[in-house]
Amino acid sequence: MAAQSRRQALQSTTAGAVAFGLGLGQAQDPGRKVRLAVVGGGFGAMFFWHEHPNCAITAVTDLHSARRERLRQVYRCDNVHDSLEEMLRKSKDFDAVAVFSGAPDHYKHVSMCFDRGLHVLSAVPACNSLEEAEKLKSLKKRTGLRYMMAESTYYRDGCRYARELFRQGGFGELFYTEAEYYHDGNIEQMLANPKSLLYSPDGKPSWRQNQSPMHYPTHSVSFLVGVTGERITEVSCLGWGDRKLLSKVKARDLAKSPFSNETALMRTSGGHALRCNEFRQVASIESERAQWFGEKGTLYMAKTAYHGDVWHPRYGKPQPVELPKYWQSERLPEKMRHTSHHGNSATWISAEFIDALVENREPEIGLEFALGVTVPGIVAHQSALKNGEQMKVPDFSGK
């Protein structure tokens, strides 16, 4: 895309940001301070709520002492607790909770917070089964509380750019998307290293030892749902895994989780296709990326330093794309206008959750979106266990 047309496109997008629901809006109480508690001193210590003028971190917790200390130092909060249960029992000085516990515990911890009248931001995935998805939807409806999922893909620079291009008609009909999350690890080396991701700080096996790839699909699926807004309606998935190698992971249930890599072909509500790869055993640069194919052209998202973002119009030559510096946007509080991890998404996630509570509205990445990018992976894994059988994906949108 030429520089001139790019500038015109971005000016148009900025002017229409409110209509598109990009986090703008008049605050119901611009002076309100959201009192936030943070659960989980690993990934949970990497966000920037404390830089938002309308947020105060008033409690932190983790099961492990080193992570508790990290939370205390990062957020300068001395109200420290040994567990979420203890924090909810002993402390009442917060309005919302950011849950960054292990993936299998997200539903349980979100429901605990909802039951106590607290708004929740949760790490991905939203849940681990269709039963949990149904319960989460019912709980949200019953309580009326705000829910947001901390999905980084939605705010990644490349995904933001694709979303703007789609909304302006730049793709025409976007008929096919390829998305991937490659997170390689030498299993034998990791098993031998008690400080690897396969272990908790106390040396016990972490949840990652027994997780199927498609039970962590949100970074990939969001590259489609977060651009077009379509829903995944059907899926067929194939899995692969070195059973001899996986059998060395003693905490793994090979009957339920026999794959280290899974590939799914998903049908959208618009009749389009998404090819989704979730690989955990692969010789590849670690990546969370996508490429979008439309009738007017294709957008290739960068893959680290080996090549940049590229726009290829249908009738023309490929052109390098210089992505906007979204992190400099005036839609972020001034102190938060800096780069951040996961494609500069962390500041946007932090700001959107606080803004939504202050403005008394649903966050962009609400429960409908969260289930829309989590549930397809749950069904995909079921399909892989059935040798690629095509399966319907339940609709949790409420429409």
Domain with CATH 3.30.360.10 in the chain: 153-334+365-392
Task: Residue 395: count other Cβ atoms within 10 Å of its Cβ.
Answer: 14
Q: Among the listed ranges 251-265, 294-308, 316-330, 385-399, which one has the minimum average pLDDT value?
A: 294-308
> Tell me, what's the pLDDT at 188?
87
List Cα–Cα distances, 386 to 50, 256, 258, in angstroms. Answer: 46, 11, 12
25-29, 152-156, 223-227: which range is least confident on average?
25-29
For residue 206, the 8-state DSSP code is P
Q: What is the pLDDT of residues 169-189, one digit of tens each?
A: 999 999 999 999 998 778 888
| Distance (Å, whole) CA 358 – CA 339 | 24
pLDDT computed for residue 284 by the predictor:
77
For residues 134 and 296, give the distance between their C-alpha atoms in angstroms, rounded to a whole number.
39
**Mind listing the pLDDT tens digit for each residue in 289-327?**
999 999 999 999 998 666 789 999 999 999 999 999 999
pLDDT number for residue 345: 97
The pLDDT confidence band at residue 399, using thresholds 50, 70 and 90, is low
**Could you give the CA distance from residue 74 to residue 80 in angstroms, rounded to a whole number?**
12
Q: What's the pLDDT score for residue 305?
A: 63
**Distance between CA atoms of residues 153 and 3, nearest Å:** 25
Segments of the chain assigned to CATH 3.40.50.720: 21-149
- What CA–CA distance (Å, rounded) separates 349 from 331? 12
CB neighbour burial string for 38-61, b if at least 16 within 10 angstroms, e if fewer: bbbbbebbebbbbbbebbbbbbbb
Q: Count CB-CB contacts under 10 A for residue 131.
A: 10
Alpha-carbon span 330 to 300, nearest angstrom: 27
pLDDT reported for residue 196: 92
Question: What region, left, alpha or beta, does residue 68 occupy, with left being phi > 0 and alpha being psi -120 to 50 degrees?
Answer: alpha
Q: What is the mean pLDDT of residues 256-269?
A: 97
Look up the CATH superfamily of 153-334+365-392. Dihydrodipicolinate Reductase; domain 2 (3.30.360.10)
3-state secondary structure of 274: strand
Per cent of the chain over pLDDT 70 is 91
The yes-or-no verdict on residue 237 having pLDDT over 90 is yes
**Contact present, 135 and 111 (Cβ < 8 Å):** yes
Residue 393: partners with Cβ closer than 8 Å, 6 or more residues away: 231, 232, 233, 234, 235, 266, 375, 376, 379
d(CA 219, CA 213): 11
pLDDT at 133 over 70: yes
Q: What is the CATH T-level fold of the domain 21-149, as seen in this structure?
A: Rossmann fold (3.40.50)
Assess whether pLDDT exceeds 60 at residue 159: yes
* 310-313 and 319-320 beta bridge pairing: antiparallel
